[in-house]
Chain A
Amino acid sequence: MSIYLDHAATTPMVDVAINAMVTQLSELGNPSSLHSHGRATRKTLEDAREVIAKEVDCLPTEVIFTASGTEANNIALKGLYWAGRADGKKLVVISAIEHHAILDPAHWLLTHEGAEVIHLPVTPDGVIDLVFFKKLIDDRGPEIAVLSIMHANNETGVIQPIAEVVRIAGQIPVHIDAVQSFKKTPLSFSALGVIAMTLSAHKIGGPLGIGALILRRTVEIPSLLHGGGQEREIRSGTLNAPSIIGFAAAASSAHYPVREITDLRDRFILGVHEVLPDAIVNGVRADRLPGIVNVTFPRTQSDTLLLLMDGAGVSCSTGSACSAGVHEASHVLLAMGHTEVTAQSSLRFSFGATSTPADCDFVLSVLPGVIARGRAANSV
């Protein structure tokens, strides 16, 4: 028995994406070339760009392909900061629950580029504190170069009130990391009114190694990579046509069964409470993505639980970063008011399109034994 409940880490590629990619892999031509081979690749690639633009409700020219969500986040945060700094704005505002692909570039801007960084606090349910945010904008709005908030959190699945954030932010450039939310909850670049938005292919059934920054067409920012001038000169480098085509195929055709996955999630939560009444589901009162459940199991250590779950045939995760392979307390759970100890007693289970009720029930059947052993190991 081997159950995969780590779809927020990566999820199986869909057949249409695999087929589209395989077909394109045998095609010859650099999309930047002017000859017939180049034109053929460019035609297919630009079709893919239009497909993705349609999926997120933006203009094709607003799609900038990158090698990962991390790269898109770096281009957006650093680029918008540098652009703002040129106008004397040195404040970077991010939430306390961002992915490391925003947290770490923000920290780098602080240590290397003269930025001041403010982390927005969140409520115990993991939603950014809008009262704090409103006051910050009132007090220091004109100093803010860039504001970056994730659309939905990767550890808890909690969805952030982006429309409200944009309304309060007014003229301040807002970037959102939509890596987890894309295809799992409605997402419209133009309706949200953000300046920039990050996407990643492998979280939606597309290939690894391809992402996109959606950047409003009138925005000009310095680039991180200089070279052939591709992608509005913001991201030089030969375009990865097969991966882009696989990405578009997944974006347009992969069916994410929201209803079924939400039901699975809720079935799982009910079951957890039944077998382990003292377990705490994090962010349970907030609006959340269908597929992510984050549970704290008091008096355990998550690294022990991962080993035992793996041994029982279940692949899940803590969702948080490792330092030299040593699990650190999740900054997301700490921001939600957990202590170091309870934050390190938590696991993330994430369901995907291939998950079944049988998967859910199998995990529930092994969970009590795993937690009991985890508690025994924690008390030696």
Chain B
Amino acid sequence: MKVIAAMSGGVDSAVAAARAVEAGHEVIGVHLALAANPQKYRSGARGCCTIEDSHDARRAADVIGIPFYIWDMAEEFHDGVVEDFLAEYAAGRTPNPCLRCNEKIKFAAVLDRARAMGFDGVVTGHYARTEIGVHGKTLHRAVDHSKDQSYVLSVLTREQIDGAIFPLGDTTKVDIRVEAESRGLAVAQKPDSHDICFVPSGDNAGWLRDRLGSDVGPIVDQSGTKIGEHKGAYTYTIGQRKGLGLTVPTADGSPRFVLKIEPITNTVVVGAREELAITSMRGERPVWCGPEVTTTPTLGFVQIRAHGAALECTYYLENGQLIAELDSPLFGLATGQAMVIYDGDRVVGSATICETA
């Protein structure tokens, strides 16, 4: 096949591109320029948007021996990922920008452009696997569960999965670094990127404050009594306990947790841990990575964080929304996150959490 290898400048995408070449594909490396004004150098290990990263990617492509190009996706990234991230926080939800980037950039803008140019698919360094079975090509967890990225890929449609190649799903990260070394790739020991690539300082709250302002608002208990103040409700997360700065203790001295964020009144509601317990969740805009989920209740697992645990549940479709009922209660679940349903290690689909109970 003729494929585009998305190369961030990191070790994973470099090895993925090399493996794609070995698998017999005709590979062209592409680095996505996602920042309108990229920094020259990385600060710490963060980011995949610096000029230094694009040099690393180019060097890896040259060592592998494939053509290399840079695609300017800064506008698409800003509109589809950064703006969405801000809007979600402003609405009191907790978004996952990596998931949005996969949905709107890597397997949409890039894959569409690649297909129009006559390519068959996109290779990435994600830790995930695909299998071809009775349901066609399906998405599965990586062998290395600690690095598994199937959660952030769960927004891909079947058509997108058809055009996706994940060469690293059968290997552990440790072995990928060893392999990179033996392939002579200088990025073999480059630190993993983490946090959010467009927040280079790593200070998420500060970054949000610069853009959303820091309007002072009340922190109230469940009866509505004001017990403190905050500087921007969006900097809080459901289930958060630390950093609330409350001076009025509870009657029994038990700790308080963030229960609710109300963006319109700029209010943060706090209360006891038990109040955080939920046993069901509802997700909107579901996407199916394989056969569609029906109204028939089915046993499976739901995962609500990128590297969170898979929780036993019963899932089904109701009025076009995805419902998951948990076997045991869960404490602290923010809306805006993705609920991803697994059937064993197969990704069934995902939806954006809009309601919990």
State the A residues within 8 Å of B (CB): 303-304, 306-308, 310-311, 322, 324-327, 373-374, 376-377, 379-380
- A327–B72 CA distance with the chains assembled, in angstroms: 8
Are A377 and B54 touching (Cβ within 8 A)? no
Chain A residues lying within 8 Å of B118, measured Cβ to Cβ, are 308, 373
Give Cα A310 to B29, complex, Å: 13
Q: Which of B67, B69, B117 contacts A377 (CB 8 A)?
A: B117
Interface of B is mostly: mixed
The 16 sampled A-B contact pairs (Cβ below 8 Å) are A303-B70, A303-B71, A304-B117, A307-B28, A308-B118, A322-B70, A324-B33, A324-B38, A325-B31, A325-B70, A326-B33, A376-B117, A377-B113, A377-B117, A380-B109, A380-B115
Whether B116 is near chain A, meaning CB under 8 Å from some CB there, is yes
Contacts of B115 in A (CB 8 A): 380
Inter-chain contacts of A303 with B (CB < 8 A): 69-72
Query: How many chain-B residues does the 8 Å CB contact rule pick out?
Result: 20
Cα distance A374–B114 in the bound complex, in angstroms: 10
Picked from A311, A326, A377, the residue with its CB within 8 Å of the CB of B28 is: A311
Known pairs A307-B69, A380-B112; A324 contacts B51 (CB<8 A): yes
Q: A303-B71, A326-B70, A326-B72 are in contact. List 16 more A-B contacts (CB 8 A).
A: A303-B70, A303-B72, A304-B113, A304-B117, A307-B28, A307-B67, A307-B69, A311-B67, A322-B70, A324-B51, A324-B54, A325-B54, A326-B74, A377-B117, A380-B112, A380-B115
Kindly report which residue of chain A lies nearest to residue B52, judged by CB atoms: A324
Contacts of A376 in B (CB 8 A): 116-117
In the complex, chain B residues whose CB is within 8 Å of the CB of A374: 117
A308 to B116, alpha carbons, bound, how many Å?
11
Which residues of chain B from 101 to 116 have any CB-CB distance to chain A below 8 Å in the complex? 109, 112-113, 115-116
B67 touches A310 (CB 8 A): yes
| Residue in A306, A307, A377 whose beta carbon sits within 8 Å of that of B116 in the complex | A377
Give 8 closest A-B pairs by Cβ, nearest first. Answer: A325-B70, A376-B116, A377-B116, A380-B112, A326-B72, A377-B117, A324-B51, A307-B69
The complex places the Cα of A253 from the Cα of B20 at a distance, in Å, of 48
Interface residues of B in 68-123 (CB under 8 A from A): 69-72, 74, 109, 112-113, 115-118
A374 to B113, CA, bound (A): 9
Interface string of B112-154 (1 = CB under 8 A from A): 1101111000000000000000000000000000000000000
| List of A residues within 8 angstroms of B112 by Cβ | 380
Q: Which residues of B contact A (CB under 8 A)?
A: 28, 31, 33, 38, 51, 54, 58, 67, 69-72, 74, 109, 112-113, 115-118
**Complex Cα distance A306/B67, Å?**
11
Please measure, in the bound complex, the distance between the C-alpha atom of A130 and the C-alpha atom of B339, giving whole angstroms: 67
Q: Which residues of B contact A324 (CB under 8 A)?
A: 33, 38, 51, 54, 70
B161 to chain A, nearest CB (A): 19
Q: Are B72 and A373 in contact (CB under 8 A)?
A: no
| B38 closest partner in A (C-beta) | A324
List residues of chain A with CB within 8 A of the CB of B67: 307, 310-311
Instruction: Determine the chain B residues whose CB is within 8 A of the CB of A377 once the complex forms.
Output: 113, 116-117
Q: How far is the CA of A325 from the CA of B29 in the complex (A)?
A: 13
Contacts of A380 in B (CB 8 A): 109, 112-113, 115-116
Distance from B53 Cβ to chain A, minimum over Cβ atoms (Å) = 10
Specify which chain A residues have a CB less than 8 angstroms from the CB of B113 in the assembled complex: 304, 377, 380
Closest to A328 in B: B72
CB <8 Å contact, B117 and A307: yes
Complex CA distance for A216 and B261, rounded to whole angstroms: 75
Across the interface, name the chain A residue whose C-beta is closest to B57: A325
Q: Chain A: which residue is nearest B55 at the CB level?
A: A325
Complex: A310 Cα to B26 Cα, angstroms: 13
In the complex, residue of chain A having the shortest beta-carbon distance to the beta carbon of B31: A325
Q: Name which residue of chain B comes closest to A305, CB basis.
A: B117
Q: What's the nearest-Cβ distance from chain B to residue A46, in Å? A: 40
- Measured in the bound complex, the distance between the Cα atoms of B74 and A325 in whole Å is 13
> CA A61 – CA B245 in complex, angstroms?
77
Alpha-carbon distance A307/B71, docked complex (angstroms): 10
Q: Name which residue of chain B comes closest to A308, CB basis.
A: B117
Note all chain A residues with C-beta closer than 8 A to B116.
373, 376-377, 379-380
CA distance A310 to B69 in the complex (A): 10
A307 neighbours in B (Cβ, 8 Å): 28, 67, 69, 117
CA distance A82 to B51 in the complex (A): 34
Bound form: Cα–Cα A308–B118 in Å: 9
| Distance, CA A311 to CA B54, complexed state (A) | 21
> Which residue in chain A gives the minimum CB-CB distance to B108?
A380
Question: Which single residue of chain A is at the shortest CB-CB distance from B39?
Answer: A324
Cβ distance A207 to chain B, nearest Cβ, rounded Å:
23
Contacting residues, chain A, for B74 (C-beta < 8 A) = 326
A373 to B2, CA, bound (A): 14
Q: Report B-chain residues with C-beta under 8 Å of the C-beta of A327.
A: 72
A169 to B295 CA separation, bound complex (whole angstroms): 83
Q: Please give me the residue from chain B that is nearest to A378 by CB atom.
A: B116
Nearest opposing residue in chain B for A380, CB measure: B112
Cβ A306 vs Cβ B69 within 8 A: yes
A residues near B71, Cβ cutoff 8 Å: 303
| Docked CA distance A263–B70 (Å) | 35
B112, B115, B116 interface centre (most CB from chain A within 10 Å) = B116
CB-based nearest B residue for A375: B116
* CA of A327 to CA of B74, assembled, Å: 12
Task: Find the residue from A373, A379, A380 having the highest chain B CB count within 10 A.
Answer: A380
Q: Are A325 and B28 also in contact (CB < 8 A) when A311-B67, A373-B116 are?
A: no
Question: Who on chain A is nearest to B68 by CB?
Answer: A325
Residue of B nearest to A344 (CB): B72
Our pick among A304, A308, A311, A325 for the contact of B33 (Cβ within 8 Å) is A325
Residue with the highest number of chain B CB atoms closer than 10 Å, among A306, A311, A325, A326: A325
| Residues of chain B contacted by A325 (CB below 8 angstroms) | 31, 33, 54, 58, 69-70
For residue B232, give the distance in angstroms from its CB to the closest CB of chain A: 33
The smallest C-beta distance from A316 to any residue of chain B, in angstroms, reads: 14
**Minimum CB–CB distance for B341 against chain A, Å:** 30
How far in angstroms is the closest Cβ of chain B from A69? 24
The chain B residue with its CB closest to the CB of A379 is B116
Q: How far is the CA of A128 from the CA of B113 in the complex (A)?
A: 39
Q: How far is the CB of B105 from chain A (nearest CB, A)?
A: 13
Q: In the bound complex, what is the Cα–Cα distance between A379 and B113 (angstroms)? A: 9
Query: Roughly how many angstroms separate A377 CA and B114 CA in the complex, as a whole number?
Result: 7
CB distance from B19 to the nearest CB of A (A): 21
Question: Can you name the residue of chain A whose Cβ is closest to the Cβ of B35?
Answer: A324
> Nearest chain-B residue to A322 (Cβ)?
B70
Q: Which residue of A lies closest to B50 (CB)?
A: A324
Complex interface: chain A residues within 8 A of B28 (CB):
307, 311
